[in-house]
Amino acid sequence: MPNIQPFQGLLYNKSKVSLSDVVAPPYDVISSEQQQELYDKSEYNVVRLILGREENRYEESAAYFNLWKKENVILQDDAPAFYVVTQTLMLEDGKQITRKGFIGACELEEFGKSIYPHEKTLSKPKEDRLKLFTATGAMFSQVFSLYTDREYKLNDIVYQITSSKPWAEIEFENVLNRIWKLTDTERINALQQFLSKQKIIIADGHHRYETAMTYRETLRKANPSYTGTEPYNFIPMFFTNTNDPGLMIFPTHRIIHSLPEFDTGALIEKLEEYFRVTIYSNQNQLLKNLPLRTNNFGFILPTALGFILLELKSLSVMEQFGLPEVVAKLDVSVLHTLILNHIFGISEEAQVQKTNLDYVKDSQQAIDLVRAGNAQAGFLLNPTPIEQVREAAEAGYVLPQKSTYFFPKLLSGLVMYSFTSV
């Protein structure tokens, strides 16, 4: 069962800085342009800790971190707490939504006991985060995770606090982030009891979780008399309900490039063996029809063919690849296994290494890249439904990388965590 504990977070000192000037998105979604903007925003922006631009950036991150603590720009909280967070934003259609969750310290454990991943990881990001953990002894963001509360039992236990004045409000990139400190012992105990019966699914932050496992083992070997209660045996996690009305998953689209042989006519002929192919004259028609069914893909080419909708004729074709049913039925599995590997000839290793594959969050950006001739093709996807993510993860299976894009992103620097202090 998951062991979730309150902890004394490391927080920016509100009397020293404006919180909206010092927070940042997760390190892996920050572009070089945004990195510069964040550097310019404040000399104390957390980007210097999570994604420094200095030559010896891990050592510099540690230097900044230690200096800011010395200057009382970053303070350790007075008492252990769960940090309740709401994120409110306006959608394009004018609808306002709020996602609720809370941050706690989760004891690290091997996957498959009560904590489950849902995506594959890569080695380079883990090497990068391990260097940062080792240099700073801290983590400046949270692993995003999911629990299931169909009856909304935690609304009375945890989220009643959101009717009171928050500890902080931060507006960042059109998202209003509010934070409360939950310190009431009775409510903390009730929350822990509820979570102890849960299966926790990692939504975002797989690399950081696996890195923390490696980091923990290193510290345990250096401290053979460890008790298991040391902070490095835990990792900060943000928990939200899979049934939360504000939980949104967006797709990540695929861009194909650098294939030595790319015969458009031959590829379409192969695709027609498995898919119903509909050609549209403009992107609006394609985007309108794409979400109407599962196992649909938008296929973008730089040629006069325009915009193509691919609709899988029968899911039974996936049986030949030996995938478990809960994985085989997912759009990302059909794309990566049937289309990219089987039809396009892009091996699984090449997919992992991104030899011929890039990922784009915005559908318009993907369309523009291809239509401008900067890529050979693009695939537009529908979002992976949260129930399919949960079903596959709890069955012990992982999906191709970038199968989900949870939005809004959690802010780095909101609540930070020390692996070395109580």
The letter for the amino acid at 253 is H
- What's the confidence (pLDDT) of residue 87? 98
Average pLDDT, the chain: 95
pTM of the predicted model as reported, rounded to 2 decimal places: 0.93
- What's the confidence (pLDDT) of residue 182? 98
Q: Class of the 252-382 domain?
A: alpha beta
**Ranges of CATH 3.30.1760 domains, the chain:** 252-382
* pLDDT of 71 strictly over 80: yes
Region 370-393: mean pLDDT is 95
- What's the confidence (pLDDT) of residue 134? 97
- What's the confidence (pLDDT) of residue 306? 80
Q: How far is CA 48 from CA 32, 33, 87, 212, in A?
A: 13, 14, 24, 20
Ramachandran assignment for 72, one of left (phi > 0), alpha (psi -120 to 50 degrees), beta (any other): left
C-alpha to C-alpha distance for 367 and 112, rounded to whole angstroms: 39
Q: Write out pLDDT tens, residues 168-183.
A: 999 999 999 999 999 9
Percent of the chain beyond pLDDT 90?
90
Categorize the per-residue pLDDT at 378 as very low, low, confident or very high, splitting at 50, 70 and 90: very high
Categorize the per-residue pLDDT at 353 as very low, low, confident or very high, splitting at 50, 70 and 90: confident
Q: Write out pLDDT tens, residues 235-274.
A: 999 999 999 999 999 999 999 999 998 899 999 999 999 9
Mean pLDDT is lowest, of 97-111, 227-241, 385-399, for 385-399
- What's the confidence (pLDDT) of residue 421? 79
Q: Which residues of 119-153 are buried (b: 16+ CB within 10 A; e: fewer)?
A: bebeeebbebbbebbbbbbbbbbbbbbbbbbeeee
- What's the confidence (pLDDT) of residue 270? 96
Tokens of 270: 């192969």
Cβ(8)–Cβ(15) below 8 Å: no
Cβ(208)–Cβ(139) below 8 Å: yes
- What's the confidence (pLDDT) of residue 96? 95
Percent of the chain beyond pLDDT 70?
100
- What's the confidence (pLDDT) of residue 228? 95
Q: Write out pLDDT tens, residues 119-166.
A: 888 888 999 999 999 999 999 999 999 999 999 999 999 999 999 999
Q: Write out pLDDT tens, residues 315-344.
A: 999 999 999 999 999 999 999 999 999 999
Q: Write out pLDDT tens, residues 355-368.
A: 999 999 999 999 99
* pLDDT of 422 strictly over 70: no
Region 102-117: mean pLDDT is 96
- What's the confidence (pLDDT) of residue 214? 97
